[in-house]
A and B are shown apart, each in its own frame.
Chain A
Amino acid sequence: MDIPYTVEARPDTGLYNAKLGIWLFLASEVMLFGGLFSSYILERVGADAGTWPHGWLNVPLGTLNTAILSLSAITTLMAWVACKTRNYGQFKLFHALTLACAIAFLGVKGYEYHDKFMHYEVQLKDGRIVDGHLIESKPDHIVIHGRYVQSHAELMQAAPAAQLSEIELKTGEIASMDNYGPWHNTYLAMYFTLTGLHALHILGGAIVIGYLWSFGSKMWYTDHQRFTNRIEVSGLFWHFVDLVWIFLFPVLYLT
């Protein structure tokens, strides 16, 4: 038994099954990310002045990732155009570029995560705080590339690079130390949740695109229209992922 409207559009709606399906899925995704965004806004608006971090994230890297993802949106579009114009070579090229962009995006994001996990807030026994990146850790001492601060309020603004220096701390001086993981504070919890969920979407999309580029591309010759539909649907998902990043970048990095 054939399932109707997998290739051709249903006459009354003008849509094939997968197209309607992906838009309904994207609607549910809007609500998923919407819930997280609204939580972030609630926390951000409710925070007292001077208690919300500013400038903690690497804006040039965020901008680079925006460029990478925007470029991948174009290559996805071009891959679909290549399907429509039956140019297999171009399809392979543009989809490979999309995959390369996805890998590059995840690479940059991985670097940013690593940077946060290496960033420590060290509470000293004399009440001062040392904040910076851990560059050496030995049983009797650690070395931090960072700065001394007197209170948590000072930490809310990122320090200019000129104010940072190498600080060696004896283990006996340290009361506690905590890295900038999701457990560190509300802002980082939201950052890791939002960007982690987004990165999982990138990974999922890349797996689908990778399949359509490799094994799945056999369908190009056996059922071209259906294959083109698959490229269109995967492209819609990819554009949505780009759309989410277009809001994540300014909300988390710039405001």
Chain B
Amino acid sequence: MNDHPINELKEQGRRGLCVFAVVMCITLAMVGVFYLPPANWDIGIAMILGAACVNAFLLLTYLMHFISERKLIWTVFAFTLFFFAGLMFLTLYANHDMPMGTMHH
């Protein structure tokens, strides 16, 4: 990242503008799903969250230059991903792990 030729840097600027345009299109599509939901709202939620993941991927890859980062950053990211996935899994697991005698039917 420290020795980019000038043309490549300007290309990054152009690429950034393209990413902005795509992110805004995807965001508008998400809002469209909110106002015109599909018959099954669960599918609508999945579509919206999937679109958010695409936006996040674009931002991380092109604006944060993650794709061209050093191995050490990838390692840090892999550990973060592992613990983040664990956090989410434990949360969902806990949702189905209701302590006995705490629910009324």
Interface residues of chain A, those whose CB is within 8 Å of chain B, are 9, 13-15, 19-20, 23-24, 27, 30-31, 34-35, 37-39, 41-42, 45-46, 59, 63, 66-67, 70-71, 73-74, 77-78, 81, 84-85, 225, 232, 236, 239-240, 242-243, 246-247, 249-251, 253-255
Contact = CB atoms under 8 A, between A and B. Distances in A.
Contact of B72 (A20, A38, A84, A239): A20
Contacts of A251: 49, 52
Contacts of A9: 2
A70 B70 contact: no
A247 B52 contact: yes
A37 B85 CA distance: 12
Contacts of A67: 24, 27
B51 A250 contact: yes
Given A74-B20, A78-B16, A23 B73 contact: yes
Contacts, number: 125
Question: Which 4 pairs show the lowest CB-CB distances between chains A and B?
Answer: A38-B91, A27-B80, A14-B70, A254-B34
Interface of B: 1-2, 4, 6, 9-10, 12-13, 16-17, 19-20, 23-24, 27-28, 30-31, 33-35, 45, 48-49, 51-52, 55-56, 59-60, 63-64, 70-73, 76-77, 79-80, 83-84, 87-88, 90-92, 94-95
A41 B91 contact: yes
Given A31-B83, A63-B28, A255-B48, 15 more contacts: A14-B70, A23-B76, A38-B88, A38-B91, A42-B95, A73-B59, A74-B20, A84-B4, A243-B56, A243-B59, A246-B56, A249-B27, A250-B30, A254-B31, A255-B45
A133 B16 CA distance: 41
Contact of B31 (A41, A59, A240): A59
A11 to B, nearest CB: 12
Contact of A84 (B9, B60, B92): B9
Contacts of A31: 80, 83-84, 87
A45 B92 contact: yes
Contacts of B83: 31
A22 B84 CA distance: 18
A53 to B, nearest CB: 14
B49 A41 contact: no
B59 A246 contact: yes
A239 B64 contact: yes
